[in-house]
Chains A and B, each alone.
Chain A
């Protein structure tokens, strides 16, 4: 999980993920277009994202396509966010019920 946070701790890499979110399955060439970085820099950032499993690569003949892989982010969500959701939702339901009960009594 350390490498996921390390990979995310860089604006250029987050931008690359945003671009894959907007259009999944891009080639290196497509990702270099419009990026304010050299081809080498894009390659380096993609390798770091791939090592962190945030980007998955598929080859079709001579082409190599890059995909956003959200599974490590789902793990982060499950560990740090999801477990707080249920108590919060339960609390809201209880609040609603007690307010409605009070309202009925008045």
Chain B
């Protein structure tokens, strides 16, 4: 296994079950992930696609490992950015743990040789999305600017 290109960690005052639901259900992700949702059968080998609010499939992948509410591993390949179409697939992992500080989400992303640019672009968006997810679960409100992609 390669070492990840980035690792993001967020502690959220909620349960793993609620966090899992917030990470996977379209009703939740559309709110804090700039209208995007994941279209998946949530079974190993099944598709895992990211669809935006206009119905465009922006990214495609496959579920590699799934163990609700503790782990999800998917492949991830961009389909719309000219620079990234030939890159990948990369591998993304969500790991959820119960801790005294709340549910801990660890998000890692691994890229093959040449996939650095993809990971760089993806990684720029995650901190805002994850802090908005935290805000939504803890206060019921998302953070401004995660309701849509910046122009």
Contacts and interface: CB of A to CB of B under 8 A. Distances in A.
Interface of A: 24-25, 53, 56-58, 60, 63, 65, 67, 69-71, 73-75, 78, 82-83, 86
Contacts, number: 58
A58 B106 CA distance: 10
B108 A53 contact: no
B135 A78 contact: yes
Interface of A is mostly: mixed
Interface of B: 1, 3-11, 106, 108, 126-128, 130-132, 134-135, 143-145
A27 B106 CA distance: 19
Most buried by A among B5, B6, B7, B130: B7
A70 B4 contact: no
Q: Which 6 A-B pairs have the closest CB atoms?
A: A74-B127, A67-B7, A56-B7, A56-B9, A74-B131, A70-B127
B144 A86 contact: yes
Contacts of B131: 71, 74-75, 78
